[in-house]
Amino acid sequence: MHAYARRLPAGVDAVAYNPGFVPGTGLARNAGPVARFAMRRILPAMALTPFATGRNAAGRHLADVVLGTTEAPTGSYVDRTRAARSSNESYDPRREDELWESAERFTAAYAA
């Protein structure tokens, strides 16, 4: 996000959003049968705890970020409902530039 925030024109913001663990989204659809069963039948109950986020809540939190209800300046990392510090590695400009250059290379064939 920091690399995007530096490169995007003024007025265009880039914000990373982490909804947390959101059971019931098909995340484990390619996992083995035990993991799929747990994700479908057991782990959705975790959405009632602070350890997971329900699908509706995750969508609401994302909308709050997009609409500006959750304050998050460009380059921010939003963890569920608040801007937070991202990992130490994410603040390394060399790594940010490497990621940017890799993304440019990987997507160059799709550019019009």
Tell me the pLDDT of the chain (112 aa) as tens digits: 899 899 999 999 999 999 999 988 888 889 999 988 888 888 888 888 888 898 899 999 999 999 999 999 999 999 999 999 999 999 999 999 999 999 999 999 888 6
* Stated pTM of the model: 0.80
Side chain identity, residue 70 = T
Rounded Cα distance, 4 and 52, in Å: 28
Total domains, the chain = 1
Q: How far is the CA of 13 from the CAs of 7, 39, 70, 88, in angstroms?
A: 10, 34, 14, 21
The whole domain housing 39 covers 2-110
CA terminus-to-terminus distance, the chain = 23
Q: How far is residue 2 from each of residues 13, 34, 52, 65, measured CA to CA in Å? A: 10, 39, 27, 17
